[in-house]
Chain A
Amino acid sequence: MRVMIPSALRSYTGAGEVSAQGATLAEMLADLDRQFPGIRFRIIDEQDSIRRHIRFFVNGEQSFDLALPLKEGDEIYIVQALSGG
């Protein structure tokens, strides 16, 4: 499936769009971390919580549930919710 990467995380991926596999959001993130070590901890903390300013959209729908099932062909956006200055 296609995963869109925000600019803040492209130091890991080198690209704005990458491919990843997994039956859930959590599995997809584990695959991303295998491909791009360290990326997961910047967006998911050690308690498996989504970090405060990170959002996930799957096929245009926002999800806060890492157990959300995914299927081949899904399009996932990882978004940094800009705030502050």
Chain B
Amino acid sequence: MSGVSLLIATRKGAWFLLGNEARRSWRVEGPHFLGHVINHVMLDPRDGKTMIAAGKTGHLGPTMFRSDDRGKSWKEAARPPAFPKEEKRSVDHTFWLTPGHADEPGVWYAGTSPQALFRSEDGGNSWDPVSGFNDRPGATKEAGGSQDGTPDGAKLHSIIVDPRDANHLYLGMSGGGVHESTDRGATWKPLVQGLEVVAGFDAANLAFHDPHCLQLCPSKPDRLYQQNHCGIYRLDRPSDQWIRIGKAMPAEVGDVGFPITVHPRDADRAWVFPMDGTDVWPRTCPGGVAAVYSTRDAGASWTRHSNGFPAGQVWWTVKRQAMAADTLDKVGLYFGTTSGEIWASADEGENWSSIASHLPEIYAVEAASS
């Protein structure tokens, strides 16, 4: 591995940040798709060269762009995600992209708004609905109404393929809860035990569950972490019971946020970027003070990291796809703000520096090896 590529998806296009191995020097490449709303750009780790970008514009419908040469050239997918006629609904945008299992080259998954799961078997050129999920009993009720989703549409996100088993899938619905399949998406069961919902609402109603981001630990695939609308959680399978590890966060900071990122080799390590969830839910840095928090003990305790951040008057928002880790030693961490800045740490969060600014509103950051 000679360096790190950051794939930045924004409201106005995509950019790549190319870093050397020391991660001290970064080169900006882009824009790609200037003016397109790009929700996610992903590199296929199985071949190191296929990329997919999920896009639309303010005026045109959604589509997918594919690259076979790591983003040097792009071609539109022949058949982007779309609902069958009988469903009487239309895809507004694709929100999430996940490459499939290592044993299934060419397979990709996509999560859309309105919430639905799609799969491609040909490297993202054509997409079909995963009817076992989209048409499951109660699907409409679980997804809730138009007021139950995020402001720009309910999202299906955090599609996870178990690295040990291509048939074992997880996903998150905002709102609608966490769901699991063990038969490659044919059938699903909810996985929400222990997750809290907003006070006064019934946790038995899946529509009230709002997982913001799920991460599976590559070094321990039976462990998942979750940043939820209502706290930070850990799940150790085969248990079905999520544990609210965010209760160990400082009370004045809380455990509200969007992203969570895990260590590639140490399942006890995870990082979050807390946001203000008080009264009207500003979802900016609590108190105007930026800090990343990490755990080294699976959530029993949390450590604050703020070296390099401005001292105060910092009102960043970091969206659920906009925080990532690389696989180097020490692990590099990255996040993008809705105000268009990328911050990086080459030492697992101890020290931070801004490596790009003045970008459009950042939706997603992915780290890939160069």
Binding site for B on A (CB under 8 A): 8-9, 37-38, 41-47, 49, 51, 53-54, 80-84
Contact = CB atoms under 8 A, between A and B. Distances in A.
Nearest to A41: B61
Contact of A41 (B59, B80, B84): B80
Interface string B267-304: 00000000000000000000000000000000000000
Interface stretch (B86-94, B257-265, B339-347): B86-94
A53 B60 CA distance: 7
Given A46-B85, A47-B89, A80 B59 contact: yes
A29 to B, nearest CB: 13
B327 interface: no
Given A37-B78, A38-B76, A38-B78, A47 B59 contact: no
A83 B63 contact: no
Interface in B33-78: 57-61, 63, 76, 78
B154 to A, nearest CB: 17
Contact of B88 (A9, A42, A47, A51): A47
B323 interface: no
26 contacts: A8-B57, A8-B59, A8-B60, A9-B60, A38-B63, A41-B61, A41-B80, A41-B82, A42-B60, A42-B63, A43-B60, A45-B61, A45-B90, A45-B91, A47-B83, A47-B85, A47-B89, A47-B90, A51-B60, A51-B61, A53-B58, A80-B59, A80-B60, A81-B59, A82-B59, A83-B58
Contacts of A9: 60
A2 B82 CA distance: 29
Q: At the interface, is chain B mostly helix, strand, loop or mixed?
A: loop
Contacts of A53: 58-60
A8 B57 CA distance: 9
Contacts of B84: 46
B63 A54 contact: no
A76 to B, nearest CB: 17
A38 B109 CA distance: 21
Contact of B63 (A41, A49, A80, A84): A41
B60 A46 contact: no
A84 B60 CA distance: 13
Given A8-B57, A80-B59, A80-B60, A46 B78 contact: no
Contacts of A46: 82-85, 90-91
Contacts of B91: 45-46
Nearest to B36: A8
Nearest to B91: A46
A3 to B, nearest CB: 16
Nearest to B89: A47
Contacts of A42: 60-61, 63
Interface string B119-163: 000000000000000000000000000000000000000000000
Contacts of B59: 8, 51, 53-54, 80-82
Nearest to A79: B59
Please give me the 4 A-B residue pairs with the lowest Cβ-Cβ distance, nearest first: A45-B90, A46-B82, A53-B59, A42-B60
Interface string B164-194: 0000000000000000000000000000000
A8 B55 CA distance: 13
Given A38-B78, A46-B91, A47-B88, 17 more contacts: A37-B78, A41-B61, A42-B61, A46-B83, A46-B85, A46-B90, A47-B89, A47-B90, A49-B90, A51-B59, A51-B61, A53-B58, A53-B59, A54-B60, A80-B60, A83-B58, A84-B58
Contacts of A47: 83, 85, 88-90
A84 B152 CA distance: 14
Most central of A42, A49, A54 by chain B CB within 10 Å: A42
A35 to B, nearest CB: 15
A18 B80 CA distance: 24
A83 B83 CA distance: 26
Most central of A37, A46, A49 by chain B CB within 10 Å: A46
A43 B58 contact: no
A46 B245 CA distance: 43
